[in-house]
Structure 1
Amino acid sequence: MINFNGNIVGQEENILTQNRAFLYGDGVFETLKIINGKILFLEDHYFRLMASMRVVRMEIPMNFTMEYFEEQVLNLIEQKGISASARARITVFRNDGGLYLPKTNFVSYLINASPLEDAFYALNKAQYEVDLYKDFYVTKQLLSSIKTTNKLINVTGSIFAHENGLENCILLNDTKNVVEVLQGNLFMVTGKKLITPPISEGCLNGVMRKQILALAKKIEGIEVVEEIISPFDLQKADELFLTNVITGIQSITKYRKKEFKDNLAHLLVQKLNESISEN
């Protein structure tokens, strides 16, 4: 089942032949994590979704309030009988009509959801090797900072990682600087300094990225900065880790011949879970 424009329907009822998200990538989305009936970081997800719709010139309906989306997501989870932890995705797309030039800027949306095994975040200690993906590059522009339904770089990069026995790949921008990984933002620890690329480099304006930056700034002795990272910098790092809302934090254990620690990542996972429990 999915939530299509506020109605719970079978997935087979969603006809894609004229769907602009399917035909042209004319859509934006948010992936949410829900624990015990609560959507984590709801406000951040909501405002990023609204900002994304504005960037791509979609008409925002009057009923698209934060409370409305919360109700729609939680209703779907209840209807599907998911009781503990869930993953949900809201996809908003321009309505049918037109070719590259749409006939309307009004939108529809659909929500789907599936259960998750783990409620709170945990640091996965398994081997996690990455390398650079250089077949295609991320452009330094506003569109790169939002979640659109055009993710071909991430798709082809994931295929490359699978074919080469890697858990993930690091994406570069058109000036050959580090941007992010295929499934989230990238952080680098060098000494007492935590570094992540600025949004201006073309990385996703990640919801979990925002949480980690805020949590790290409260840790005594850690300097938190947003600055350019080159591929050469990665081999001088003490830690590398990626972040996204579903996984939380995933430590990178190996990049080429360099192996990494996970000290700060471990601490941040603890603080992340504490902040969720408090709220």
Structure 2
Amino acid sequence: MVNFNGDLLPASSHFTNHHNRGLRYGDALFERIKSTGKSLLFLESHYFRLMASMRQLRMEIPMEFTLEFLQEEIDKTLTAAGLSGKPAGVRLTVFRQDGVGYLPESLEVSYLIEATPLAQATFALGATPFTADLFRDYYLQADGLSRLDHAGKLPQVLASIYARDNGLDTCLLVNHRKEVAGGIHGNLFLRKGNQIKTPPQGSGCAEGVLWKVLLKQKWAENPYEITEAVVSPFELQQADELFLLDSLTGIQPITHYRKAVYGTEASEYFTRGLNELVLTEA
């Protein structure tokens, strides 16, 4: 079941058409939220990120789009999908209403909520081994739109195909300045000793909610210092550890990049810390 503008419909329903602006022009935003079965993790942060993104794209925010309204609609969707009280991944998509030209006929929006089951409520360290390489065929544009989760994800799509065709688990993306921006899924972290770097917003990475949590959280007995700094491709093979961070799956260590092999010490530490936050949120 999916929730389209408040109506619960079978996923196979034809609830949109060829005039859909998300389909025609990528005129859409999305948020991916983890449900533990007891709570929607960091829902308030996801909500305010969505509102800020909608304002940036000059979408008209409906009066009813309160935090409480969206939580009720998500809960309704989870119940209809048989996922109430169970771990699930929620995708909330907002797109401008139908129109055939670049200039919108209306700034009003429609929304779609989908839910899929997850294996567990807590975060599990991603599977290893996990191999990566750089994707250089196309670059991310490091601008004000790159921090948003919008529907224009062709570089990620093509990088996913490249990874599959070359026997890789993932790829790292670079921007037009040849700086490392992040992964296909999630923000990148690079550890050298006890120093951890993550590409800044100016490099073209998305402003992920869990990424901001990891940066701002005061971690107990934290042996690491995290900074936002430009990451060059040269630094990747010199690192002691690489990992990706995604709102639904948590931390995925990269164990192999070209000839380099990495440890998972920081990945394990922050996974434990994130799971403590899950228990607090619940």
Which of 115, 138, 141 is equivalent to 2:140? Answer: 138
- Tell me whether 1:56 sits opposite 2:48 in the alignment: no
Correspondence for 2:20: 19
Moved more, 91-100 or 215-224: 215-224
Correspondence for 2:76: 75
Secondary structure of the 1:75 match is helix
CA contact (8 A) 2:219 2:273 kept: no
Which of 72, 84, 87 is equivalent to 2:86? Answer: 84
Q: CA deviation at 1:13?
A: 3.1
Amino acid at match of 1:198: P
Correspondence for 2:209: 207
The equivalences for 1:173-252 within 5 A come to: 173-215=175-217, 218-252=220-254
Secondary structure of the 1:241 match is strand
Q: CA deviation at 1:15?
A: 2.4
Q: CA deviation at 1:214?
A: 2.6
Secondary structure of the 1:102 match is coil
TM-score, with normalisation over the residues of structure 1?
0.97
The equivalences for 1:41-52 within 5 A come to: 41-52=42-53
Amino acid at match of 2:40: I
Q: CA deviation at 1:79?
A: 1.4
- Tell me whether 1:169 sits opposite 2:171 in the alignment: yes
Distance in 2 of aligned mates of 1:143 and 1:227: 19
Secondary structure of the 2:164 match is helix
Residue ranges of structure 2 left out of the alignment (5+ in a row): none
Cα deviation digits, residues 211-263 of structure 1 (max 9, x gap):
22234765443221100000001111101000001110000000000000000
CA contact (8 A) 2:36 2:120 kept: no
Secondary structure of the 2:135 match is strand
CA contact (8 A) 2:8 2:77 kept: yes
Secondary structure of the 2:274 match is helix
CA contact (8 A) 1:27 1:91 kept: yes
Which of 105, 108, 121 is equivalent to 1:106? Answer: 108
CA contact (8 A) 1:30 1:89 kept: yes
Correspondence for 2:38: 37
- Tell me whether 1:264 sits opposite 2:266 in the alignment: yes
Secondary structure of the 2:145 match is helix
Distance in 2 of aligned mates of 1:216 and 1:153: 34
Secondary structure of the 1:105 match is coil
Q: CA deviation at 1:125?
A: 4.2
Secondary structure of the 1:246 match is coil
Distance in 2 of aligned mates of 1:246 and 1:81: 19
Amino acid at match of 2:169: E
Amino acid at match of 1:4: F
Distance in 1 of aligned mates of 2:221 and 2:244: 19
CA contact (8 A) 2:180 2:231 kept: yes
Amino acid at match of 1:10: P
The alpha-carbon distance between structure 1 residues 76 and 224, as it changes in their structure 2 partners (threshold 3 A), is same
Amino acid at match of 1:214: K
Over the residues paired in the alignment, what is the CA RMSD in angstroms? 1.2
- Tell me whether 1:277 sits opposite 2:247 in the alignment: no
Residue ranges of structure 1 left out of the alignment (5+ in a row): none
Aligned length: 279
Amino acid at match of 1:79: A
Amino acid at match of 1:42: L
Task: Give the fraction of aligned pairs with identical amino acids, expressed as a percent.
Answer: 43
CA contact (8 A) 2:125 2:252 kept: yes
